[in-house]
Structure 1
């Protein structure tokens, strides 16, 4: 009955995953260290699992409806993405293998990868709005609890499969480490600055 819903939601989610963004940049960058990349992939997938669960249970709508709470998410997320971007830019400047990932203060390893993957996705307010808007528009009240649970599982498995397949380009990435870190750093910093600029515009409207 809900086959078209599963297919449509899955295709939209895969397109979103493949689009340039903090998650995509993080997976490419950490692919130079396999355990860290695996951890980051799992962390991102778990964050998306949480986003989907919160959206389908209405909690994300509650967060977005509380200006002070959503403001806090935006500020923390912008600062964290900016910190990661600065670390990537330092790595591009120094250009040393392995040092690029540690430039932001991170240590390598799958546990650290999970933490970074979780934080990068959860602290991105655009990810929160994406899942809240997408699922609110596509998942009607007529969709039963079991189907909602299967939709959440679908999003998690697609996220994990995509994230794990990306590091296959590791050989190529090793030869383009410095430009990769440069692009990653610029992307993270651009997202961070865009969020902060949006907050500044909103604040000026109240002055």
Structure 2
């Protein structure tokens, strides 16, 4: 029903997106550095549930809504591009901060950690785009069971996203300590992050559906 090529394709896309800094990575890294790995992993649980919301939505055929009402898709792209552009500016502006720079955050409850992780994931334009635009390109209607194909391919993204975000959570403290002791590396990381986010924002805004 789902061929290896489809799985490898969506896995490659998901890997490329999870490795490019975005809202999920920034939130999870910041939370892990400020409140510890346990808080980061709880937040990751919320992020994972946000992924599953999109899996269910795509499986239920919500992509058809964007096809019937193109303006909604355009609004999603523009909103996502503006948000990523704002994140890029936060990293590149004078006095901007690296995602791995230690910062003070309130020590939130388990419920709030999970909820913030969930909202960060659901409102993440990168995730919205991969499910609403990219994932359907890997579905082959002639194979039948489009909903099942969407479900299986979506779960591939969830596995990739949770695995690598989990690695970010577990290593955030070590990476932060390494960069803190090397200010030049911290600046380089900040500029690279901001540039990647800026490029992604521009591509999201100008690329056709």
CA deviation map 1:34-55 (0-9, x unaligned): 2332133223222222223323
Aligned to 1:171: 174
Aligned to 2:16: 16
Residue among 159, 162, 174 paired with 1:160:
162
Give how far 1:146 is off: 4.3
CA deviation map 1:113-165 (0-9, x unaligned): 33333333322334322222322111122342545433333332332222112
Aligned to 1:39: 42
TM-score, scaled relative to structure 1? 0.63
In structure 2, the gaps of 5 or more residues are: none
Task: Classify 1:10/1:83 alpha carbon distance in 2 versus 1 (closer, same or farther; 3 Å).
Answer: closer
Decide whether the 8 Å contact of 1:74 with 1:124 is kept in 2: no
Work out the CA distance in 2 between the residues paired with 1:193 and 1:14: 17
Decide whether the 8 Å contact of 1:38 with 1:113 is kept in 2: no
Give how far 1:4 is off: 0.9
TM-score, scaled relative to structure 2? 0.62
Q: Runs of at least 4 residues of structure 1 off by over 6 A?
A: 78-81
The two structures, once aligned, show a CA RMSD in angstroms of 4.3
Work out the CA distance in 2 between the residues paired with 1:65 and 1:125: 20
Aligned to 1:132: 132
Equivalenced residues, count:
193
Decide whether the 8 Å contact of 2:80 with 2:126 is kept in 1: no
- Superposition pairs for residues 37-186 of structure 1, below 5 Å? 37-63=40-66, 65-66=68-69, 69-70=72-73, 73=76, 82=86, 92=97, 97-99=102-104, 102=105, 107-109=106-108, 110-141=110-141, 142-144=143-145, 145-169=147-171, 170-176=173-179, 179=186, 186=194
> Match of 1:46, SS?
helix
Moved more, 72-81 or 148-157: 72-81
Decide whether the 8 Å contact of 1:41 with 1:114 is kept in 2: yes
Work out the CA distance in 2 between the residues paired with 1:28 and 1:172: 10
Decide whether the 8 Å contact of 1:40 with 1:117 is kept in 2: yes
Work out the CA distance in 1 between the residues paired with 2:164 and 2:77: 26
In structure 1, the gaps of 5 or more residues are: 200-207
Give how far 1:68 is off: 5.5
Aligned to 2:28: 27
